[in-house]
Structure 1
Amino acid sequence: MIPPPHAPPHPSDEDQLAALGYTQQLKRELGFWTNFGLGFAFVSPVVGLYSIVGAGMFASGPAWIWALLIALSGQILVALVFAELASQFPISGGIYQWSRRLVGPRYGWFSGWIHSWTQIITFTSVSYLGGFWMAALFGRHPDATEQLLWGFGVLLLVSAINLLGQNPLKYSVNVGIAAELIASIAIGLLLLLFFAENDWSVLLHDLGASHNWNGSAAEGFLAAIAVAGWAFVGFDACSALSEEVKDPRRHVPRALLMSLVVVGLVIVMNAVAVIRAQQGVTGLVQVLSVDPLTPLVTDAFGAWLSKPFQAVVLASFLACAIAIQTTATRILFSLSRDQALPLSRHLQKVAPNQVPANAVLTTTLIGAVILCVGLNGSAVSTLIAFTSGGFYASFTLAVAAALWARLRGRWDPGLGAFHLRGWGLLVNVIAVMWVCFETVNIAWPRPQLLAPDAPWYLEWAVPLIGLGLTLTGALYLARNPRPGVPVSTEKTDTAAAVPQ
């Protein structure tokens, strides 16, 4: 149908970005499937499940599957709110930009501060864990120092790929997704259909896991919910690349929701498969295992699959690390473009291939410094726990900002391309309740999940690191009372829609 002559032309993505106060600097050529692939790689069924299955079984036995379902349900509510925000504010930086526009520059800066550090520490943690699989692929059983070197290898490889531009990024993510399909869906389905050792009723029991918590099954289940929270973070990566996606108002919300739901269902299916296929499943309840899956796969399919399995798991970890660093650099780019960080003039620079190269190098340098704590295995476990808590703290700030703006009439979600209609307020309220609960639950000290000789500060590390970031952020705000370039009046009117 040809529009009438007086109808205004449909604004381009660049015009919509200009209406929000920015000019196009990054290369806008990503479609829906690449955006979905980035979110899929970040959430990652392999990284999400393989990193925590041992802790989940130790916390609540086979019944931890229900903790996974609770965490997934809560995160879907958060993703629905994020989809509304991404539809109306399709800007790089995601949580930082949303919070800034819904509440104000100081609140937005603090959200971006917590979120960016969480992303960088997550990048470091996943690189370290990926180093374990890289070493295994080469037949190495490294000590603490060598493990650190393998982690450096992963970090540098991922950084080099991200510096090369969007095409290597897309290819790497596609390889990672292919590896995920093999390592999670294919192997999970085969285990579930042909190698079951336990019947379905095992999912209703903790098999004595309550003994790890002084006989309290409820305490163990709360710990399992805290552990499960790690499996369902990273879907917001889709929104961090909004300025590189074509038609982001429609594609980003769909990619964000689809990546979480698809990965979530795969993780739950694989968790069920692992529990049912595990011989001597009670042993996983009694001892906190780092890698219960490789022995399970080799026992089921034969030792010949050990190296291919390690290769596809490594590919999944590399794709996950690539997606995490990509997200972190876009958040730094968004903050520095608003002059909201030290050295913003350098961090906001875009290379000729339209990649924020200085932001990539900065995350690499900071990650390398943080990686040095890899000499202490317990410290790395603590960093992983913090990243989970950091994500939920960031989610809390974002969904709370959305609820506050919604109730005060500062934001009308109905003007976006995606909105929840009459269900929006209820979903937003429950999402706030969920992330507040899970943030506290993750931060709660649990010595049972640490080595017996771990120092006291590792038990309290999540709240201590959170307090440290809060205090340093407060000091920065004291010296910079209005961080970032203030958004002009017409662009802070959150009730205004992005041009259609």
Structure 2
Amino acid sequence: MAFGFISIATGIFTTYGAMLTSSGPIGIWTWPVVVVGQLMVALIIGSLSARIPVTGYIYQWASRLTNPVFGWMMGWLGFTFLAVVLCAVDDTIPSTVLPVLFGYEGTAANAWVITGLLIVAQAVVIALSTKLTQRVNSFAVTIELFGMIALVILLFAVGYFRNELNFADLFSTGTVPAEGYFSFGGLTNAGPWIMGTLLGAFTIVGFESAANLAEETHQPEIVVPRAMWQAIVSVGVLGMLFLIAVTALLGDPTTFKPSATPIADVISHVLGPIVGNLLLVMVVISIYACGQIIFLSATRLVWAMSRDKRFPGWRLWHRIHPTFHTPANATILVAIVGQIILAIFAHQTDALFALFSAATILPVIIYAVTVWIYAAKRNRLPASRGFTLGSFELPVIAIAAAWIIFELAIFRDASFLVPWLYVAAMFALGALYLAFIVFVDGVAKLKMPDLSSVDAKLDADIEGAPLPAPAR
């Protein structure tokens, strides 16, 4: 889950072109900075998940460690993030890969249609079987891992024998002016090099999805934290090698012409149409599976909030299908919301940028709240049942907090106006529903129920048996 959600293929294929335009080839060196920052955040989330291993991640933690009202808003923001990043990831396939793979001109219209069909296909798989979804994920992650390793080796090898590797390009600003390149920027604009961090910031997110399936995982207090940090480290190393290979084979960066499919263009040029297309098929499989994992995580968050009678229309979404044993209704809801978001963004010429920008802003907000909660409540948390930071706790918190502040400062750039409007609109909708709950039922009704076994809950929903007593 953690590796598949991050997905090197998805993140880099989506944002590499924008990074070249804003930061030039040298922008790839922001990648290690992001890896270290996100690793610190993952260690904190891992420590939390080892103490409170329950489906709903930030919704559960914020509700139980601060107050249910604040927790509800964080749960709503988590849902907002998962819904928009689902669209951003699925849109990557028709926007950055398929036009090169099948030789047609990609447009906003055909990207919209294809992305909508992908969401429907993912919804069908998730609604029918969690085991099938798991198998698709395992297959895709294996394909991506070995495929990306093979791709890196082939790019370096073929580039070397054809004498096309130019490592000097790795330190070129390309078409971006060198003057003021490393500056922090102004009040409403971020410096060119700083904008390059968005490449990693969009890619290395979603590792916390492992915590969102804690109740469906054996020994989550051990497995979940390990999955998160191992995913980030492996993606960090492999992603850096891939970025070096692609950038060294890009050609003259000073004459770079913006392309919607720069990485696919490099792969096809260097490896030829047959091998290149086979590897692009691997990329499509990886991106599809990444979207499916995001979709799965979104259904679990909706189900968890509905189980606690918190989500709008919870009476429908908390139900478990008696035949498929999945939250099928919650799956349908996520699919519908995804189609609505697609319709909103699809008519924009820079729809992909707007989608991935919104999908980058939201997790940063969630990570900031998670780090703050952990720092404030760390001495009052339940004892760890697996993973612990030990003597490294304070340094990890300090580095994570500094990284989050730096990352949030990037989004003051005027180019993020539309994504901020999306975030504000979704926050406003959530606030209205929260006000309705409080007005009708009162704040007392928002009290969180005791933690209980998800297996017992599912068995009771399916068989109609009485629930056992809640267990800590």
Summarize the alignment of residues 75-474 of structure 1 with structure 2, pairs less than 5 Å apart.
75-132=38-95, 133-134=97-98, 137-196=101-160, 197-210=164-177, 216-218=181-183, 219-284=191-256, 287-352=257-322, 353-372=324-343, 373-406=345-378, 409-411=379-381, 415-446=384-415, 459-474=416-431
For residues 5-48 of structure 1, the C-alpha deviation after alignment (integer angstroms, 9 at most, x for no partner) is: xxxxxxxxxxxxxxxxxxxxxxxxxxxxxxxxx21111001001
State the one-letter code of the partner of 2:428. L
State the one-letter code of the partner of 1:367. G
The 8 Å contact of residues 175 and 255 in structure 2, kept in 1 or not, is answered as no
The 8 Å contact of residues 335 and 341 in structure 1, kept in 2 or not, is answered as yes
What is the Cα deviation at residue 215 of structure 1? 5.0
CA distance in 1, matches of 2:429, 2:355: 18
What is the Cα deviation at residue 114 of structure 1? 0.7
State the one-letter code of the partner of 1:279. G
The 8 Å contact of residues 339 and 483 in structure 1, kept in 2 or not, is answered as no
The 8 Å contact of residues 58 and 75 in structure 2, kept in 1 or not, is answered as yes
CA distance in 1, matches of 2:4, 2:427: 29
The 8 Å contact of residues 349 and 356 in structure 1, kept in 2 or not, is answered as yes
What CA RMSD, in Å, does the superposition of the two structures yield over aligned residues? 2.4
What is the Cα deviation at residue 53 of structure 1? 1.2
CA distance in 2, matches of 1:143, 1:430: 42
Structure 1: which 5+ residue stretches go unaligned? 1-37, 447-458, 492-497
The 8 Å contact of residues 128 and 328 in structure 2, kept in 1 or not, is answered as no
State the one-letter code of the partner of 2:434. L
Change (3 A) 1:139 1:67: same
CA distance in 1, matches of 2:135, 2:103: 27
CA distance in 1, matches of 2:62, 2:32: 28
Asked if 1:477 corresponds to 2:444, the answer is no
The 8 Å contact of residues 108 and 349 in structure 2, kept in 1 or not, is answered as yes
Summarize the alignment of residues 10-89 of structure 1 with structure 2, pairs less than 5 Å apart.
38-89=1-52
State the one-letter code of the partner of 2:142. A
Change (3 A) 1:483 1:282: farther
State the one-letter code of the partner of 1:468. A
Change (3 A) 1:154 1:139: farther
The 8 Å contact of residues 320 and 326 in structure 2, kept in 1 or not, is answered as yes
- 2:187 counterpart residue number: none
What is the Cα deviation at residue 228 of structure 1? 2.6
For residues 291-338 of structure 1, the C-alpha deviation after alignment (integer angstroms, 9 at most, x for no partner) is: 112221122121223432331111111101110001111111111111
What is the Cα deviation at residue 135 of structure 1? 5.9
CA distance in 2, matches of 1:130, 1:155: 12
CA distance in 2, matches of 1:296, 1:171: 31
CA distance in 2, matches of 1:141, 1:490: 52
Give the alignment's TM-score, normalised by structure 1. Answer: 0.82
The 8 Å contact of residues 114 and 394 in structure 1, kept in 2 or not, is answered as yes
User: In percent, how many aligned pairs have the same letter?
Assistant: 24
CA distance in 1, matches of 2:221, 2:89: 30
The 8 Å contact of residues 443 and 463 in structure 1, kept in 2 or not, is answered as no
The 8 Å contact of residues 340 and 484 in structure 1, kept in 2 or not, is answered as no
What is the Cα deviation at residue 430 of structure 1? 2.4
- Number of matched residues? 438
CA distance in 2, matches of 1:87, 1:420: 11
Change (3 A) 1:397 1:292: same
Give the alignment's TM-score, normalised by structure 2. Answer: 0.86
CA distance in 2, matches of 1:395, 1:483: 27
CA distance in 1, matches of 2:349, 2:127: 30
What is the Cα deviation at residue 488 of structure 1? 5.9
The 8 Å contact of residues 84 and 416 in structure 1, kept in 2 or not, is answered as no
The 8 Å contact of residues 3 and 207 in structure 2, kept in 1 or not, is answered as yes
For residues 330-363 of structure 1, the C-alpha deviation after alignment (integer angstroms, 9 at most, x for no partner) is: 1111111111111111111111332111111000
State the one-letter code of the partner of 2:28. I
State the one-letter code of the partner of 1:154. L
The 8 Å contact of residues 192 and 272 in structure 1, kept in 2 or not, is answered as no
CA distance in 2, matches of 1:439, 1:282: 30
